[in-house]
Amino acid sequence: MADSILRFEGLNYLQDKKISANVWYRKEGNKMVREENYDVVIVGCGVGGLYTALNLPSEDRILMICKEDIESCDSMLAQGGICVLRDETDYDAYFEDTMRAGHYENRKESVDIMIRSSRDVINNLLKLGVGFDKNPDGSLKYTKEGAHSQPRICFHEDITGKEITTTLQTRVKELPNVEIREYTVMTDILVEKGICTGILAKNADGDILKIHAKDTVLATGGIGGLYKHSTNFPSLTGDGLDVAKKHGVRLEHLDYVQIHPTSLYSKKPGRSFLISESTRGEGAVLLNGKGERFVDELLPRDVVTQAIEKEMEKEGSDHVWLSFKAVPEETIRNHFPHIYEECLKEGYDITKEPAPVVPAQHYFMGGIYVDHFSETTMDHLYAVGETSCNGVHGKNRLASNSLLESLVFAERAAGKIAGREDEEYESNYDAACCG
């Protein structure tokens, strides 16, 4: 749709009719400076940012930006699944599993909120069209991962993150009040009298964007791009943390970095390919160079990682082996088709032979300190997803809690921004499901 351009007080005035956002622009040297106004700006297009947008009021004007293309977010890479409280009898066990994995450094209130919100989140995802694997009777299938006392993980093959993220992307793209801009990088936040009033950013052309907003949500992901070996996209370099630190926003547990025990060993450069913990939940075992098991594969991630590193040091090797011998071939081909294919590319048929694996940086449990509504210590500034620290994970994240935590606290951020935490309001989610 063509933009209408008017002259006003020596500046060019542009009105985007789609979202009714006012845009002011001027030239500074050879660069264009644009000033825009929105109700909410969300930095990041992973599940945290997308679900925040979906739960904001349908009357709000919302801008979402992402550093690369919209597909290059770590939410896409989550394999194993998303946890859910199966029923009330599972609460105590789920709570204890999460706390034990986190070395009891978790914030108990946050853990409680996440667990008790989990069923509603799963039901909402189903309504949005997420295709979780189901039994013949239509009930959800559950799998088990390390440090879980029982199966409680919903999944879609071995690409659960991609299934959830692409579904949310599709729904958000359909919303008339949300604009998504790719290849747009936040460089700073705008602050007036100690209150966040938006962000500064640059687009692919190098133009400067001054985006004013009533509320700002940082969903910038983790820090994997700072590591030589990581399962994360290289673009995840802790941008939100840097900006928060610059303005004195409280950070927490910056040393709480999770190493995943099993990434596919490869001499090729670039991002490490994750082999989901759920493979071990289905029976895969770790072997040393002699073909001997050396650890309980379903212990917490940090414990298994330490055991692998110790074994590698003892043997003088640069990897150990993950054997799928106990996993039925049907399960490998149906539950883990993408892992199977990726291993084949590297020359390993996991239906017939083990694959070499090595630990790699995977997740960041620290981040920007937030409360139970994802509010930072700066007014009108929120943080969700891996860039935030609400205390759910403690010192070490329990497998498959990341997607759930991001979604639960994204929804709570949206409710707080709406100012109607305890009231019903017409949200984008309502439009996506019922519109």
Q: How far apart are CA 186 and CA 203, in angstroms?
A: 9
pLDDT digits (tens, 9 = 90+) for 358-389: 999 999 999 999 999 999 999 999 999 999 99
- Claim: this prediction has a pTM higher than 0.85: yes
Q: What is the average per-residue pLDDT within 299-318?
A: 95
Output the pLDDT for position 8: 35
**Of 267, 353, 362, which Cα lies nearest the Cα of 305?**
362
Residue 260 has pLDDT above 80, yes or no: yes
- The confidence band for 261, taking pLDDT boundaries of 50, 70 and 90, is very high
Q: What is the average per-residue pLDDT within 85-107?
A: 97
Residue 1 has pLDDT above 90, yes or no: no
Burial class (CB in 10 A: 0-12, 13-18, 19+), 240: buried
Tokens read off for 402: 């990341």
Residue 41 has pLDDT above 70, yes or no: yes
pLDDT digits (tens, 9 = 90+) for 7-32: 333 344 444 433 344 677 777 777 77
pLDDT digits (tens, 9 = 90+) for 398-409: 999 999 999 999
- Residues with a catalytic annotation lie at 301
- What 3-state DSSP class applies to 267? coil
Q: Count the Cβ atoms, other than its own, within 10 Å of residue 234.
A: 14
Residue 420 has pLDDT above 70, yes or no: no
Output the pLDDT for position 16: 40
Ordered structural domains, the chain, with CATH = 4-255+365-434 (3.50.50.60), 258-362 (3.90.700.10)
Q: Return mean pLDDT, the chain.
A: 91
Residue 195 has pLDDT above 90, yes or no: yes
Output the pLDDT for position 172: 97
Output the pLDDT for position 14: 44
The angle formed by the CA atoms of residues 398, 401 and 407, to the nearest 5 degrees, is 160
Report whether 357 contacts 388 (CB < 8 A): no
Which of 223-232, 340-349, 402-411, 422-431 has the lowest average pLDDT? 422-431
Residue 21 CB-half CA count within 13 A: 26
- pLDDT more than 90, % of the chain: 81
C-alpha 223: how far from chain center: 12
Q: What is the average per-residue pLDDT within 206-221?
A: 95
Longest dimension (CA), the chain: 78
Residue 5 has pLDDT above 50, yes or no: no
Q: What is the average per-residue pLDDT within 95-108?
A: 98
Which of 14-28, 256-270, 388-402, 408-422 has the lowest average pLDDT? 14-28
Output the pLDDT for position 15: 41
Whats the size of the chain, residue-wise? 435
Output the pLDDT for position 303: 94
- pLDDT more than 70, % of the chain: 93
